[in-house]
Amino acid sequence: MTGSPKRVFAARLAGTSVFDPQGDQVGRVRDVVGVLRPRGPQRIIGLVVEVPGRRRVFVPMTRVTSVDTGQVLTTGLVNMRRFEQRGTETLLLGELLDRTVQLTDGSGVATIEDVGLEAVRPRDWRLTELFVRRGTAPRGLSGRLRRRGETMTVDVGAVVGLTTTELDQGATNLLAAFEELRATDLADVIHELTPKRRVEVAAALDDERLADVLEELPEDDQVQILSALEGDRAAHVLEEMQPDDAADLLSELPPEQAERLLALMEPDDAAPVRRLLAYDEHTAGGLMTSDPVVLAPDATVAEALAHVRRVELTAPLASAVYVCRPPLETPTGRYLGTAHLQRLLREPPQTPLGQVIDKDVEPLDPDETLQGVTRQLAAYNLVSMPVVDEDGHLLGAVTADDVLDHLLPDDWRDAEEEVFEVGRG
């Protein structure tokens, strides 16, 4: 372990790049796995590493040759089987950060803000220190800790409660460790937590961030988290979600619960969700988003390009502008055609959209089946298509990612794709 520090704090490892012996990046550290006991040495047995494809795998510490806050070096093959936490294992970031412990000197309680790891021998790591703040972390929305109480580093043996599950644990420091993650990656972190910890972490996110994360989680996780929130909070989160994602989530709830949450939402936010819930989920109406980019025929190419640059738009939604007569909110006035992004990039900025629309693509009927939608997208080589009612009003748009979500099996996020077999150790 020459040249490698013998002590490192776990929160600083979050997101650190992991390299193989050839210097190629394997993935990034997402957590540290320990086996903690009420007495005796607290062993660190490995790292949870996210590899390409957003898969989390286990890398034993016996395969780790160097640990630093800038990089982790490994040796040998890595087992590419998805990491599954065992009952005797503790995720140091996911479960210990923000835990309240009792100081054995009788001076009261403290909140764990970080954990110190030490190499007692080459490739033999222990949890030896805790960075704590006197007092308990504030509970509630999001993310930012109100600084109070003295901070200090203490020996792991100087606290009681490290292995005791806390009834109401905060999540401020855990979220700080993963602050830079995209919503889809944070969703993966939350998915790997225990159900109790998952709810605690979700509750600490602000409404907009939680809405983004919920859209990326499996349905079971979505239902569990939303059901654990207070009614008003759950309604606010649903208002921040895309209408189609909110409708998909509400459709998984008991009808009474879904109706109660719809009643708590702002009417303008609830209306498009109610319209989407009226369609079968395996039809174009059930698949579509009610909030595509819609402009009038006299809007210019420059205006259209400004709209599709919006950072919140997914790539499929940004690929097309739907041109309609007013009103421009769905259901719109008469649908006229689609202005595709590639065509917009080739036209002079002041050209009216009415001159560049594609009228050849037949829009989808809201009752079109999932198979029919898939065939149409494939036939026209498109990533999004308009959905129009019998009177010619645009109701929304179906995108390729919506279709994929319904074509893939429910457990596609957890599907095994084993590459190498190496013992867990």
Structural contact between residues 120 and 192, judged by C-beta atoms closer than 8 angstroms: no
Provide CB contacts within 8 A for 324, sequence distance 6+: 294, 295, 296, 332, 333, 334, 335, 336, 393, 394
Write 214-217 long-range contacts (CB < 8 A, 24+).
Answer: 214/187, 214/241, 214/245, 214/249, 215/183, 215/241, 215/242, 215/245, 216/183, 216/184, 216/187, 216/188, 217/187, 217/190, 217/191
Q: Which two tokens stand for residue 75?
A: 């040796």
**pLDDT at 411 (0 to 100):** 62
What domains, with CATH codes, occur in the chain?
Answer: 1-205 (2.30.30.240), 294-407 (3.10.580.10)
Whether the per-residue pLDDT at 140 is higher than 60: the answer is no
Give the mean model confidence (pLDDT) for residues 248-269: 96
Match 């993966």 to its residue by tokens.
188
Kindly indicate the confidence band of residue 415, based on its pLDDT and cuts at 50, 70 and 90.
Answer: low
Digit-coded pLDDT (tens) for 290-342:
999 999 999 999 999 999 999 889 899 999 999 999 999 999 999 999 999 99
Whether the per-residue pLDDT at 69 is higher than 70: the answer is no
SS3 10: helix
Digit-coded pLDDT (tens) for 6-27:
789 999 999 999 998 888 899 9
Beta strand extents in 181-314 (DSSP E only):
294-295
C-alpha dihedral sign at 352, 353, 358, 364? negative
Query: 132 pairs with which residues across the strands?
Result: 112, 152
Query: 393 pairs with which residues across the strands?
Result: 334
Give the Cα-Cα-Cα angle 69, 74, 80 (nearest 5 degrees): 110
Neighbours of 68 (CB within 10 A): 14
Digit-coded pLDDT (tens) for 148-190:
678 999 999 999 988 887 777 888 889 999 988 999 999 999 9
**pLDDT at 141 (0 to 100):** 47
**pLDDT at 209 (0 to 100):** 95
Structural contact between residues 397 and 384, judged by C-beta atoms closer than 8 angstroms: yes
